[in-house]
């Protein structure tokens, strides 16, 4: 027995675990040792795999942090320092973006420079200072007046035009930028200057999706970003459509105030009632959208067009009797009357859209 055990121990020393496995009274200890060693190996493998996965997650997190850090310190140039351009530049500065500013009237840069902005001496210097150039000027013509002399400096850069304009102007500028080696994103700001960088602000963008995605973290500083399509004219289209709704509301509000003022009612006394009424009528938007997309103006009709047209006459009569012009009311009255005359009095008012022209 002692001789057998000695041989088994010798085999273990020579590295043959199968030949050297101890049997008999002490053999189970050797088997237990092998099992324990195997368990440790498996645990080590699992630990190694976990460590590798943890390392990969750490690397990814650091890469993400690096990207976020880079975007949070991305230089930006703002061209045009009217009320809106100044608000944009202040928002970028407040968010920690290195901001270069330029304006045709240099004195408008002073307050921003005091807040940390870098003034550019020329439009070329302004463009060359950043890979992202944000333009906010009076109109489309002024954009070309400012950029044309230094258009070649835009090569390899992204031009974001937030100047109010038309869809065709957005498309024209896109082609102009492409000819000079720049990517272009057109935009529409749905806010007034004090709203910039607040939850109430949002900005419409269209054009180069790649450029928009690359600079979105910086653009988001201004307000919630909405990319509305690759067609560079779509931001202006959405912008002007929203403004059309706004000005339609403004016309109604002015007409309402003029009417009550004719009898000495204070606008401030009437305003709460007007706001409550307009808030209650805001549901018209969603209902009208459903009817328009279906081209079915009988969906959910509560007050048909014929009845509304008959009542609308009184708005004009009352205004004239009170010495108030009805010219703001006249266009809709004409559309309603024409639609009723065409035999659609049973439908909703929304059907008047069919008289407004083109449908894509």
Q: What is the pLDDT of residues 335-354, one digit of tens each?
A: 999 999 999 999 999 999 99
| Distance (Å, whole) CA 182 – CA 165 | 20
How far separated are the first and last CA of the chain, in Å rounded? 99
| Distance (Å, whole) CA 160 – CA 232 | 11
Phi, psi (5° rounding) for residue 134? -105, 125
Beta strand residue intervals within 145-238, DSSP E: 158-161, 183-190, 202-207, 224-227
Res 58: pLDDT = 47
* Closest of 65, 80, 208 to residue 137, by C-alpha: 80
Taking residues 159-179, report their average pLDDT.
Answer: 98
List, edge to edge, every strand of the sheet that includes 158-161: 118-119, 99-102, 76-79, 132-135, 158-161, 183-190, 202-207, 224-227
Asked if the model's pLDDT at residue 33 lies above 70, the reply is no
**CB-based burial, 119-128: b 16+ in 10 Å, e otherwise:** ebeebbbbbb
More confident residue, 5 or 330: 330
Strand 118-119 to strand 99-102: parallel, antiparallel, or no bridges (unpaired)? parallel
Kindly give, in sequence order, each residue whose CB lies less than 8 Å from that of residue 93, ignoring residues fewer than 6 positions away: 99, 112, 115, 116, 117
Res 360: pLDDT = 66
Average pLDDT for the chain: 87
Asked if the model's pLDDT at residue 186 lies above 70, the reply is yes
Strand 202-207 to strand 99-102: parallel, antiparallel, or no bridges (unpaired)? unpaired
* Closest of 53, 93, 342 to residue 222, by C-alpha: 93
Asked if the model's pLDDT at residue 319 lies above 60, the reply is yes
Res 150: pLDDT = 98
| Distance (Å, whole) CA 353 – CA 61 | 52
């Amino acid at each position: 027995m002692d001789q057998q055990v000695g041989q088994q121990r010798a085999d273990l020393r020579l590295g043959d675990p199968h030949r050297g496995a101890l049997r008999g009274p002490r053999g189970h200890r050797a088997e237990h040792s092998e099992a324990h060693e195997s368990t440790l190996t498996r645990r080590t493998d699992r630990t190694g795999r976990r460590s590798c996965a943890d390392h990969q997650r750490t690397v990814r997190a650091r890469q993400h942090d690096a990207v976020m850090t880079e975007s949070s310190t991305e230089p930006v140039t703002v061209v045009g320092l009217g009320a809106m351009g100044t608000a944009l530049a202040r928002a970028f500065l407040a968010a920690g973006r290195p901001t270069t500013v330029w304006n045709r009237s240099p004195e408008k840069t002073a307050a921003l420079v005091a807040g940390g902005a870098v003034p550019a001496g020329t439009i070329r210097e302004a463009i060359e200072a950043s890979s992202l150039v944000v333009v906010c000027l009076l109109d489309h013509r002024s954009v070309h007046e400012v950029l044309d002399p230094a258009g070649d400096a835009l090569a390899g850069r992204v031009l974001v035009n937030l100047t109010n304009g038309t869809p065709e102007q957005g498309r024209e500028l896109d082609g102009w930028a492409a000819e000079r080696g720049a990517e272009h994103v057109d935009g529409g700001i749905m806010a007034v200057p004090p709203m910039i960088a607040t939850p109430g602000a949002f900005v419409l963008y269209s054009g180069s999706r790649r450029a928009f995605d690359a600079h979105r973290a910086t653009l988001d500083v201004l307000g919630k970003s909405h990319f509305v399509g690759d067609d560079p004219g779509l931001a202006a289209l959405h912008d002007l459509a929203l403004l059309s709704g706004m000005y339609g509301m403004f016309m109604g509000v002015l007409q309402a105030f003029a009417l009550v003022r004719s009898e000495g009612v204070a606008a401030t006394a009437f305003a709460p009632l007007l706001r409550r009424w307009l808030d209650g009528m805001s549901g018209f938007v969603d209902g009208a959208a459903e009817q328009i997309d279906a081209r079915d103006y009988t969906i959910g009709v509560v007050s048909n067009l014929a009845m509304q047209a008959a009542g609308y006459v009184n708005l004009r009569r009352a205004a004239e009797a009170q010495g108030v012009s009805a010219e703001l009311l006249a266009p809709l009255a004409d559309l309603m009357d024409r639609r009723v005359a065409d035999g659609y009095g049973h439908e909703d008012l929304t059907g008047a859209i069919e008289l407004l022209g083109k449908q894509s």
